[in-house]
Amino acid sequence: MSDNRGNSRGNGRRSSQGSRKSPGNGRRSGKKKRQAGYRLANVNRGLVILIIIAVILGIYSCAVRGDREIVNVDASEPNIDVQLLDVNPYSRPGTQVNQINGIVVHYTANPGSTAQQNRDYFNGLKDSHETEASSNFIVGLDGEIIQCVPTWEMAYASNERNADTVSIECCHPDESGRFTDDTYRSLVQLTAWLCVKFNLTQDDVIRHYDVTGKDCPKYFVENPEEWEIFKENVGKAIEKSSAE
């Protein structure tokens, strides 16, 4: 927008100059040619500016999508802050899991809450008896990972799939349920690492929604193409580690 304004201002100045001094025909036609040249130069400049803007916009839109597509992580073990819940009937029943057939991704549905707060809430259920809920892992807003329940023990997160899956709860800053870049990266790495650990692939990674139809994890339910990209990223991370 500001470029268009600049051009028209330039034209106006030149044409007023032209009307002030116009001594002879020859010189005028020369000036006309020159003005035509200026106009052509202006058009060319305008085109170049448009192309530059288009290229910048193109790169920008790729980058916005791309930060979710090209995640430079592998399937190595991430930093995990192990803070196991106390064994109790409301969040850590202590039930052994015989076989792990999948990874289930969740969102906390509590915008702005931290991994620590969610972990402490789960642990507090032993006293509050409010509900039965927990998760094997929680990924925080800054990408920190807290483990609440050992992978070979059942957590209360994924309904009928509690007994044969590992669950990951993810924190999110707002109602949209979209994860921060840090949360996303840690989630990709943690999921990829768990896949390798339990001999699974990205096709064994599911949403809570795929178990019960619940709107969880909200952003990946409402944006199924982003869910597919996430799984691709997990696959790439697994590949990267198996190639090493």
**161 vs 236 by CB, closer to Zn ion:** 161
Nearest to 80 by CA among 187, 239, 184, 198: 187
Provide the minimum distance between the beta carbon of 155 and Zn ion in the complex, in angstroms, as a whole number: 11
194 half-sphere exposure, CB direction, 13 A CA radius = 29
**206 vs 237 by CB, closer to Zn ion:** 206
Count of Cβ atoms closer than 10 Å to residue 138 Cβ: 29
Provide the minimum distance between the beta carbon of 59 and Zn ion in the complex, in angstroms, as a whole number: 36
Q: d(Cα 125, Cα 222) in Å, to the nearest integer?
A: 30
**92 vs 236 by CB, closer to Zn ion:** 92
**162 vs 202 by CB, closer to Zn ion:** 162
Q: d(Cα 177, Cα 186) in Å, to the nearest integer?
A: 16
Buried b (16+ CB within 10 A) or exposed e, 97-119: beebebbbbbbbeeeebbbeebb
Nearest to 1 by CA among 55, 58, 61, 50: 50
Q: Are 107 and 218 in contact (CB under 8 A)?
A: yes
**106 vs 119 by CB, closer to Zn ion:** 106
**165 vs 189 by CB, closer to Zn ion:** 165
Q: Are 42 and 11 in contact (CB under 8 A)?
A: yes
Provide the minimum distance between the beta carbon of 214 and Zn ion in the complex, in angstroms, as a whole number: 6
**68 vs 106 by CB, closer to Zn ion:** 106
Provide the minimum distance between the beta carbon of 121 and Zn ion in the complex, in angstroms, as a whole number: 14
Provide the minimum distance between the beta carbon of 167 and Zn ion in the complex, in angstroms, as a whole number: 8
Provide the minimum distance between the beta carbon of 109 and Zn ion in the complex, in angstroms, as a whole number: 8
Residues of this chain that bind Zn ion (CB under 5 A): 106, 208, 216
Q: Are 145 and 191 in contact (CB under 8 A)?
A: no
> For residue 19, what are its two tokens?
């009307």
Count of Cβ atoms closer than 10 Å to residue 223 Cβ: 15
Provide the minimum distance between the beta carbon of 212 and Zn ion in the complex, in angstroms, as a whole number: 8
